[in-house]
Amino acid sequence: MKKVILMMCLAFTFSQTSHAQIDFGVKGGINYNNVGEDSFKDATNDIVDGANAKTGFHAGLWFRGNIPILGLYLRPELVYTQVKTEFEEQSSQNEYSFKKLDVPVLIGKKFLGFANAFIGPSFQYILDDEISYKNFSSEELDKFSVGLQMGVGVEFGKLGVDVRWERGLSKTEAKFANSVTVDNRTNQIIFGLSLQL
């Protein structure tokens, strides 16, 4: 059912931009994911002594079409993202990472001739996750989630730079052996560079 909802949202997005001039291009950048100690739990309490966010990266495609009359634009994207987090458990350094496909559907407004601001939902599908903790592998994983992105950017010709904040709205967890769970909702700052083709 979740995949059906995602496909309906994508179909609506592209149908709305089909009558407008569409710009498109490629994008990439780095992500800084903020994960706290309370994201790593066993059945009773937190299992880690400290969690440190690490930078990840993203790369993908973007499309943009003007919304007639309103003076706004619609910008759906298809982005591959990898996020990593280091955590310490009983003086042992471990790492948790996951890879996902993001489909942000952003509504934005241009101003000052070169700047823009935007906001919108981000539909996320986790492709894979890995944890370097006692040779665990995930037994159960919430793969589909919805988040929110908002940010600002500037464009100079075909080159664009933006910074955005993303927060997962739906609770998603990866479950490992011995009832260990990791809350993998994103809470990250994203720095992006885009090129119009």
| Dist CA 126 CA 136 (whole Å) | 18
| pLDDT average, residue stretch 67-85 | 90
Question: What pLDDT shows up at residue 4?
Answer: 46
Tens digits of residue pLDDT in 159-194: 999 999 998 887 766 665 555 666 667 788 999 999
Of 53, 49, 51, 52, the closest CA to residue 89 belongs to 49
Structure token pair of residue 164 = 């955005």
Contact 22, 61 (CB under 8 A): no
- How many Cα neighbours within 13 Å face the side chain of 112? 9
Question: What pLDDT shows up at residue 145?
Answer: 85
| pLDDT average, residue stretch 102-126 | 94
- Distances from the Cα of 57 to the Cαs of 66, 78, 80, 153, 191, in angstroms? 28, 14, 8, 18, 9
Choice between 150 and 41, residue whose per-residue pLDDT is larger: 150
Please tell me the pTM assigned to this model: 0.75
Structural domains in the chain, sorted by start = 2-196 (2.40.160.20)
